[in-house]
Chains A and B, each alone.
Chain A
Amino acid sequence: MKIQNMQFSYKSNQIYKDFTIEFPTASVTAILGPSGCGKTTLLNILAFNKANHVSYIFQEPRLLPWYTICKNLYLVNTGNKSERIARSRMYLEKVGLLNRASAYPSDLSGGERQRVSIARAFSYTSPVLLMDEPFQSQDPATKLQLIDVVKKLQVQEKRTIVAVTHDINEASAFADRAVVLGGRPVQILLDIPRGANFERTISEALEWAKRIT
């Protein structure tokens, strides 16, 4: 997926000007930057463009509270009824929640609900998967579990993942590339492939981003 010469203004502020970025197929890119720099804006532009076919894991699970978790997955799946049910159940199994298939979101813990939301995103047949700080509101143990779930699914599914985060540890836990954004209009300050000193390079780039944003 590629964005070329993107323009975006909000209340006469030019946020993005001639912004270009590419996300190679099956790569996991972490987008970092100071808060309010336009990371989520970038995701939303990708998500709400009708031409794009994307899954989205939001900060909150955003499940429909009046349906079972299985039906929540069912609603984003395509095919005939039995195919959709089978696919929903398969992805619930992948995130370890098949035994709760007929539970309602309110019966689950916060971490479990986010697992359902991850299952929903992967069960939706889109090449690209967007994430907006999906682990932010979870406690550290749950966070690790969720990251694990995403990593496992990604190994099997090979989707193109674009994840916004402000947490360096999170980025280094599952991304194979980190892009640090900053400035006005927003620019790519540093595009860091996974390698030695991955975390330290990100952290230095972030410091720089904070100074200029």
Chain B
Amino acid sequence: MTKKDVAAGLSSTILLVFLWRIAAESINSPFILPDPVSVVYDFFIILRDTLFIKNIVATCTRGVAAFGISFILSAMLGIMSGISKTIASAISPWMTLIKSTPVVSFILIALLWFGSSIVPIFVSVLMTLPVMTEAIAQGVRSTDTKLLEMSYVYQFSSFKRLLYIRIPSALPFFLAGSGSSLGLTWKVVVAGEILSSPRFGIGSAMQSAKVQLETVRVFSLTATAIFLSLITDFLFQKLVEVTRRHETDKEPGK
């Protein structure tokens, strides 16, 4: 990213806040659109609240659990369907079904099945699973056939081939898929919390703020969710950069 890019991003952000401020002033009703300054102020107020810390911890725990489960399941399904076309065809209808079902339907169904604190995890796993599985399968399929041939000549076992060739080939795809799933995880976890209202959670706090017409609070909680997403996204980007460092040279012969 050049200085120019940073400047462009920064100035557009300032413009957005500025437009928000103007809109808030002209509407002149904090119930409908609170002022950005009051949102920032409220953000610092909730930061000192122990309940808020509990909410964040609860949401993060759900996010990490959901992402972890999805990661493990999609790694297994993705690697298998990347290697075998039959398995890919077999799981494809499931994935299509999951992808085309509205998120809210899953939330409602899950509410009937599970306790409220499990719902956000369950729904988030379902939302991210097809994305990650497809990314990993694509990565495994993109393995350089020349390297695979080499491994056959030098009589690598199937396990050795998977560990040293297929998985490293798929890793960048794996991480890119994980990165986009991570953003989705936070969104779905918060949405799930809003609808299922577990005892603690950013979404639950948003729901109660909404009921009490604390629009400022809804905004500052939203900002918190955005920060969570930005932080994890940033960390993932770094991870992807590290793993791609030695991957610039796909065709070592050239």
Contact = CB atoms under 8 A, between A and B. Distances in A.
Given A61-B253, A62-B147, A106 B248 contact: yes
Interface string A108-123: 0010010000001000
Interface string B40-75: 000000000000000000000000000000000000
Given A64-B164, A66-B246, A104-B246, A110 B253 contact: yes
A163 to B, nearest CB: 15
B181 to A, nearest CB: 23
B237 to A, nearest CB: 19
Contacts of B156: 75
Contact of B253 (A64, A66, A113, A124): A113
Contacts of A47: 153
Contact of B246 (A56, A59, A106, A110): A106
Contact of B154 (A59, A66, A67, A76): A76
B3 interface: no
Chain A interface residue number, banded: 20 to 34
A113 B252 contact: yes
B150 A56 contact: yes
Contacts of B247: 65-66
A212 B253 CA distance: 33
B250 to A, nearest CB: 7
B251 A60 contact: yes
Interface string B231-254: 000000000000000111111111
Contacts of A64: 147, 164-165, 168
B70 to A, nearest CB: 25
Interface string B136-172: 0000000000110110111110001000110010010
A110 B152 contact: no
Given A58-B150, A60-B146, A110-B254, A65 B249 contact: yes
Interface string A122-142: 001000000000000100000
A48 interface: yes
A39 B254 CA distance: 23
A137 B253 contact: yes
Contacts of A137: 253
Contacts of B251: 60
Of the candidates A62, A76, A105, A120, the one having the most CB atoms from chain B within 10 angstroms of its own CB is A62
Contacts of A67: 164
Contact of B150 (A62, A65, A106, A110): A62
A54 interface: yes
Interface string B19-36: 000000000000000000
B164 A60 contact: no
B168 A105 contact: no
Of the candidates B160, B164, B171, B250, the one having the most CB atoms from chain A within 10 angstroms of its own CB is B164
Nearest to B243: A66
Contacts of B149: 48, 58, 62
Contacts of B168: 64, 66
A104 B248 CA distance: 11
Nearest to A50: B155
B152 A124 contact: no
A62 B253 contact: yes
A63 interface: yes
Contacts of B146: 58, 60, 62
Contacts of B165: 64
Nearest to A56: B153
A65 B248 CA distance: 9
B153 A105 contact: no
Top 9 A-B pairs, shortest CB-CB distance = A60-B253, A106-B249, A62-B150, A66-B168, A56-B153, A76-B154, A105-B252, A104-B246, A63-B252
25 contacts: A48-B149, A48-B152, A53-B155, A55-B154, A56-B153, A56-B154, A58-B146, A58-B149, A60-B251, A60-B252, A60-B253, A61-B253, A62-B147, A63-B252, A65-B252, A66-B168, A66-B246, A75-B156, A76-B154, A105-B252, A106-B246, A106-B249, A113-B253, A120-B154, A124-B154
